[in-house]
Amino acid sequence: MPTGVHIRDARQQLFDAAERVLLRDGPSALTSRAVTVEAGCAKGVLHRHFADFDAFLAELVRDRIARIEAQTADLRAAAGTGEVAGNLTGALADLFDSVAVAIVGLVVFRDELRARLRRTGHAHGIPLLAEAGTMIASYLADERELGRIAADADVDSLALSLIGAGHLLFAGRASPDAGALDKVVTAVIADVVQRRLL
């Protein structure tokens, strides 16, 4: 792209380009050059908006985390409605789209990115998965308060189990069918759903 040509919403254009490179070529291919070539802009555009490439990647991850915060509000609003397993299955399917799974791979692959994210408030676990676990735990706590799961349910452990199992199901190139995801969710929460009836 010629110098001096205005790019509308350069930040989002760069994020979109990074996601395409990540999905197509994997985390090892994600470089500032690959991103700017994919975005069709000069390399200086990235450095005009971000201090360095790791700062760009950290913002890419934070952008994904912000989406989880929006999903959290929707999931918590569903507490008390529908089936608990159905609500969780839907949330996990929304959470683990191909880009989110690829970004988890990126965070695991790049030590400096993980370190930078930890220095800026993501102290435990794998960023993105940790926030997803918090989302699931908060929803389960709401359902526990409503009496739809057992009063002594360990919502943090259940959330870890659901996030781990969900990530494993979606970690392959093809997404699992809804039946496979629902089967896992139902198995993980079966005890706390049954014990609320006792």
In which band, very low, low, confident or very high, does the pLDDT at 2 lie, cut at 50, 70 and 90? Answer: very low
Residue 1 pLDDT grade (very low, low, confident, very high; cuts 50, 70, 90): very low
Start and end residues for every CATH 1.10.357 domain found in the chain: 61-195
Q: Which two tokens stand for residue 136?
A: 């699931």
Instruction: Assign 3-class secondary structure to the chain.
Output: CCCCCCCCCHHHHHHHHHHHHHHHHCHHHCCHHHHHHHHCCCHHHHHHHCCCHHHHHHHHHHHHHHHHHHHHHHHHHCCCCCCHHHHHHHHHHHHCCHHHHHHHHHHHHCHHHHHHHHHCCCCCCCCCHHHHHHHHHHHHHHHHHCCCCCCCCCHHHHHHHHHHHHHHHHCCCCCCCHHHHHHHHHHHHHHHHHHCCC
Closest CA to 58 of 23, 24, 106, 17: 106
| Tens-digit pLDDT profile for residues 151-182 | 999 999 999 999 999 999 998 756 788 799 99
Please report which confidence band the pLDDT of residue 120 belongs to, taking 50, 70 and 90 as the band edges. confident
Cα 102 from Cα 99, distance rounded (Å): 5
pLDDT of residue 7: 55
Chain region(s) in the chain for CATH 1.10.10.60: 1-49
Contacts of 191 (CB under 8 A, 6+ apart): 150
Asked if pLDDT for residue 4 goes beyond 60, the answer is: no
Q: What tokens were used for 137?
A: 């735990």
pLDDT digits (tens, 9 = 90+) for 73-119: 999 999 999 999 999 999 999 999 889 999 999 999 998 898 888 88
Contacts of 192 (CB under 8 A, 6+ apart): 149, 150, 153, 158
123 band by pLDDT with thresholds 50, 70 and 90? low
174 residue type, one letter: A
Residue 5 has pLDDT above 50, yes or no: no
Model pLDDT, residue 31: 95
User: What pLDDT is stored for residue 8 in this prediction?
Assistant: 64
Class of 1-49 per CATH?
mainly alpha
The fold for domain 61-195 equals Tetracycline Repressor; domain 2 (1.10.357)
